[in-house]
Structure 1
Amino acid sequence: MLTSYIQAWVVLTAVLISTAVDAEPVIKQGPYEIYDNRALQVLNLDTPIETLATGFEWLEGPVWVEDGGYLLFSDIPTHRVYRYQPEQGVHLYLADSGYSNGLVLNNDNELVLLQSRSRKIVTMASSVNDPKTNYRELLSRYQGQQLNSPNDGIFNQQGTLFFSDPPYGLAKQLDDPAKELSFQGVYSLNAKGQLNVLDKQLIYPNGVALSGDEKTLYVAASNPDKPAWYRYQLNQDGTVKNKALFYQLPAVADNSHGLPDGLKIHPSGIIFATGPGGLWLFDEYAQLLAKVSLPTISANLAFNAQQNRVYITAHTHLLTFSLNTDLQ
Structure 2
Amino acid sequence: MIALLTSIILVIPAGVALAQQPPAVIEKMHPALDAVVDVKAEITVIADGFQWVEGPVWIEKEKMLLFSDVMQNSVYKWTAQKGAVLYLKPSGYTQPAPRGEELGSNGLALNAQGQLVLCQHGDRRVAVMNAATAGPQPQYTTLAGSYNGKKFNSPNDLAIKSNGDIYFTDPPYGLEKGPQDPARELFYQGVYRIAKNGAVTLLTDSLTRPNGIAFFPGEKSLLIANSDPQQPHWYIYDLNEQGDLINGRIFFNGTAIFQKEPRSPDGVKINRKGIVFAPGPGGVWIINKEGKALGRIRTNIITSNCAFTADQKTLFITADHCVLKVALK
What band does the TM-score fall into relative to the shorter chain? 0.7 to 0.9
Residue deviations 1:237-256 (CA, integer Å, cap 9, x gap): 21112111111122799998
> Alignment partner of 1:45: what SS?
coil
- Would you tell me which structure has more helix in proportion to its own residues? 1
Aligned twin of 1:79: 73
Q: Determine the C-alpha separation between the residues in 2 that align with 1:250 and 1:104.
A: 30
Q: Does the aligned pair in 1 maintain the 2:261–2:282 contact within 8 Å?
A: no
Distance verdict in 2 for CA 1:189–1:312, change over 3 Å: same
Aligned twin of 1:292: 297
Aligned twin of 1:129: 134
Q: Calculate the TM-score normalised by the size of structure 2.
A: 0.88
Distance verdict in 2 for CA 1:103–1:317, change over 3 Å: same
Q: Does the aligned pair in 1 maintain the 2:235–2:248 contact within 8 Å?
A: yes
Q: Which has the higher contact order (CA 8 A, sep 6+)?
A: 1
Aligned twin of 1:259: 264
Q: Which moved more, 1:195-204 or 1:28-37?
A: 28-37
Q: Determine the C-alpha separation between the residues in 1 that align with 2:88 and 2:281.
A: 30
Quick one: which amino acid aligns to residue 95 of structure 1? K
Aligned twin of 2:16: none
Q: Residues 174-213 of structure 1: matches in 2 within 5 Å?
A: 174-213=179-218
Aligned twin of 1:321: 326
Equivalent residue in structure 2 for 1:234, among 236, 239, 242: 239
Q: Residues 135-154 of structure 1: matches in 2 within 5 Å?
A: 135-154=140-159
Quick one: which amino acid aligns to residue 219 of structure 1? I
Equivalent residue in structure 1 for 2:5, among 29, 52, 68: 29
Q: Determine the C-alpha separation between the residues in 2 that align with 1:226 and 1:251.
A: 11
Q: Give the Å deviation of 1:175.
A: 1.8
Q: Give the Å deviation of 1:85.
A: 0.7
Equivalent residue in structure 2 for 1:120, among 125, 128, 133: 125
Distance verdict in 2 for CA 1:255–1:40, change over 3 Å: closer
Equivalent residue in structure 1 for 2:61, among 64, 67, 86: 67
Q: Which moved more, 1:39-48 or 1:139-148?
A: 39-48
Q: Determine the C-alpha separation between the residues in 2 that align with 1:303 and 1:62.
A: 9
> Alignment partner of 1:57: what SS?
coil
Q: Give the Å deviation of 1:113.
A: 0.8
Identity %: 38
> Alignment partner of 2:34: what SS?
helix
1:94 and 2:103 aligned? no
User: Aligned residue pairs: how many?
Assistant: 300
Aligned twin of 1:277: 282
Q: Determine the C-alpha separation between the residues in 2 that align with 1:174 and 1:201.
A: 16
Q: Which moved more, 1:314-323 or 1:189-198?
A: 189-198
Which runs of no fewer than 5 residues in structure 1 stay unpaired?
1-23
Q: Does the aligned pair in 2 maintain the 1:234–1:240 contact within 8 Å?
A: yes
> Alignment partner of 1:300: what SS?
strand
Q: Which moved more, 1:180-189 or 1:245-254?
A: 245-254
Q: Determine the C-alpha separation between the residues in 2 that align with 1:290 and 1:254.
A: 18
Quick one: which amino acid aligns to residue 80 of structure 1? S
1:50 and 2:55 aligned? no
Q: Does the aligned pair in 2 maintain the 1:227–1:251 contact within 8 Å?
A: no
Distance verdict in 2 for CA 1:156–1:166, change over 3 Å: same
Q: Determine the C-alpha separation between the residues in 1 that align with 2:167 and 2:268.
A: 13
Residue deviations 1:123-158 (CA, integer Å, cap 9, x gap): 001111111111111111011111000000011110
**Aligned-residue CA RMSD (Å):** 1.6
Runs of 4+ in 1 over 4 A off after TM superposition: 251-257
Quick one: which amino acid aligns to residue 315 of structure 1? D
Q: Does the aligned pair in 2 maintain the 1:225–1:252 contact within 8 Å?
A: no
Q: Does the aligned pair in 1 maintain the 2:55–2:106 contact within 8 Å?
A: yes
Q: Which moved more, 1:68-77 or 1:192-201?
A: 192-201
Q: Calculate the TM-score normalised by the size of structure 1.
A: 0.88
Aligned twin of 1:166: 171
